[in-house]
Amino acid sequence: MTKKRNDLRNIAIIAHVDHGKTTLVDSLLKQSGIFRSNEHVEDRAMDSNDLERERGITILAKNTGIEYKDTKINILDTPGHADFGGEVERILKMVDGVVLVVDSFEGCMPQTRFVLKKALETNLKPIVVVNKIDRDFARPEEVVDEVLELFIELDANDEQLEFPVVYASGFNGTASLSPNPADQEETLEVLFDAIVEHIPAPVDNREEPLQFQVSLLDYNDYVGRIGIGRVFRGTMKVGQQVSVLKRDGSTKNYRVTKMYGFLGLKRIEIEEAYAGDLIAVSGMENIDVGETVCPIDHQEALPELHIDEPTLQMTFLVNNSPFAGKEGKWVTARKIEERLEQQLQTDVSLRVDPTDSPDAWVVSGRGELHLSILIENMRREGFELQVSKPEVIIRTIDGVRSEPVERVQIDIPEEYTGAIIESIGERKGEMLDMINNGNGQVRLIFLVPARGLIGYSTDFLTLTRGYGIINHTFDSYKPVAHGRVGGRRHGVLVSMETGTVTGYGIMQLEDRGVMFVDAGTEIYAGMVVGENSRDNDLTINLTKIKHATNVRSATKDQTVTTKKPRIMSLEEALQYVGDDEYCEVTPQSIRLRKKILDKNERERVQKKKKLGE
């Protein structure tokens, strides 16, 4: 009979964005007694970087360990966004079971489906937590039925279908086995017990030759690359000589210099680790995801980890606008290239390819969010750069040109259904399902080409007056849809002059469209300063000054109020930018500009293009 390590459990917490994974892990940490009674623990302690805290999302997978009675439970908190699906997939290889968290009101969402599908394919044992049980309009029993339907739809085996259900409030740190909120117990003990009872213990084969596989990467300026993974077999000790079996088939020998285990939010140096342990290893330079560490005299690789291919690409360029170098600290090609190389150390779903120009790189990622977070981090670190419009990556599959298609789930009030179906139809979307919940809300499910969704969220918010919720996740590659798919419907207003925007200039031209700048903003010729109300681009002068006259009248100098400009966030700017434009990103500003700044030159190129067609 196989020997088990009954003192250990390895689990991953999976869920759709915002269903409360990280808050639940917080409560588990606080109740496990790991923190001293006087120790201050921040909310969402696992979301450690600023962007995660501001947006309330998990971007990087985090691991923690807690002690419960006589069992150590290693918990991996995973990202819910499909853009970080590569992380989720690799994490699931490190664990023996998953805790699927589902919101008691929203029920199953696109990413619930995405993460659960990956977990079931990896043959993991699930526990379902119906979270936010104390929410208004919670419908826990219906949600459990939805989850069961989803399990059946995803071909779960009989054992997986026998999942235990825990009803909890991660925020309050309470749980019970009853769907009635009044029956909630004061602690999460019910969940701890369910984990110990239902999640399989790792196999204890510490006597056999070592096999350790890296699933995640971290980077530290002092020790370099850190490989995080699981010991699948054998024992690993500090000082041991080992071989790393590289992805390209080569091998490299190293000495294990440092190993860390996880307890609470800390990494603890350890001397040895056994089969089943999740550890971090440093001192093996250039170690990569999926590579196996084993004894020099017993080289046996574990199956390679599948890493999701990028679906979206953008060109990153050195900033060459008239305002280049005014606001940023790092502006040279060398610095930008170094930063992109550094990102590749830890982000395996990212690709960076050089171009013919030494000042430009093609950066490919898993989606808009994936790339925009990289740009936002660079901007906060003091970088200045320009980026092009995001484009989907077309692949040739079995001789057919294919593009990524997203599964889109939309929740909207009933009266907006017609407008949304029409707008998705224009983007070559195909409707799969329409569910009317009977409470005035409708759920629509579509398959839409990914390029049709670039820039759609602004239109979506306008069409639903802000009442709609849209979620999408990568579905598959399908043959390229012919004809126009989405794109911007309006032209832009382009500045003719370099100078300062005046209130008078805006007042004269605001009936032409929506402005993106306020009075007092510095602008340059060729910069996009607004959206035209028509479908052509228009060059305008916003720096006009009102000429003084010696004629006075009682009403002439009354204060004139101008409309509020639309100031874009980075994500909105990336969605808005056109084919012939760049988005200029600096630590202080986000500007849209034409690739060709000179008006006459732009018009010449436009004419040539039309003649060529």
Out of 3.40.630.30, 3.20.20.80, 3.30.70.240, 2.40.30.10, the CATH code matching 395-479 is: 3.30.70.240
Return d(Cα 409, Cα 429) in angstroms, integer: 12
pLDDT of residue 38: 42
Any residues with CB less than 8 A from the CB of 230 and at least 6 apart, and which?
Answer: 10, 93, 94, 212, 213, 215, 276, 277, 278, 279
298 is in an annotated binding site: no
Residue-wise pLDDT tens digits, 36-48: 444 444 444 444 4
Return d(Cα 262, Cα 609) in angstroms, integer: 59
Strand-strand pairing, 125-131 and 97-103: parallel
Where do the H-state alpha helices sit in 295-351?
333-346
224-233: strand order across its sheet: 251-255, 241-245, 292-295, 211-220, 224-233, 278-282, 258-263, 266-270
Return d(Cα 78, Cα 88) in angstroms, integer: 6
CATH 2.40.30.10, applies to 211-295: yes
pLDDT of residue 16: 74
472 is in an annotated binding site: no
- The domain made up of 492-584+591-612 has a fold known as OB fold (Dihydrolipoamide Acetyltransferase, E2P) (2.40.50)
134 is in an annotated binding site: yes
Tokens of 491: 């032209």
pLDDT of residue 129: 93
Any residues with CB less than 8 A from the CB of 62 and at least 6 apart, and which?
Answer: 46, 47, 48, 76, 77
131 is in an annotated binding site: yes
Where do the H-state alpha helices sit in 73-210?
85-92, 110-121, 140-153, 158-161, 189-198
Task: Answer positive or negative: Cα dihedral of 468, 473, 478, 482.
Answer: positive
> What pTM did the predictor assign?
0.79
Give the residue ranges of the chain where pLDDT is below 50: 35-49, 51-61, 558
Cα–Cα distances (Å) from 282 to 76, 219, 298, 345, 580, in that order, read 20, 9, 22, 13, 45
Nearest CA among 110, 101, 182, 114 for reference residue 143 = 101
At 546, the amino acid letter reads: K
18 is in an annotated binding site: yes
Q: Maximum CA pair distance of the chain?
A: 102
pLDDT of residue 48: 42
Any residues with CB less than 8 A from the CB of 558 and at least 6 apart, and which?
Answer: none
pLDDT of residue 85: 64
CA neighbours closer than 13 Å in the CB half-sphere of residue 465? 5
Sequence ranges of the domains in the chain: 8-198, 211-295, 395-479, 492-584+591-612
Ramachandran angles phi, psi of 336, nearest 5°: -65, -40
pLDDT of residue 417: 92
Any residues with CB less than 8 A from the CB of 473 and at least 6 apart, and which?
Answer: 82, 85, 110, 111, 113, 114, 406, 407
83 is in an annotated binding site: no
Strand-strand pairing, 581-585 and 385-387: antiparallel
Return d(Cα 543, Cα 495) in angstroms, integer: 9
Any residues with CB less than 8 A from the CB of 600 and at least 6 apart, and which?
Answer: none
Nearest CA among 146, 188, 191, 186 for reference residue 164 = 191
Whether 200 contacts 273, CB under 8 Å: no
Return d(Cα 77, Cα 346) in angstroms, integer: 17
Taking the domain 8-198, which CATH number applies?
A: 3.40.50.300
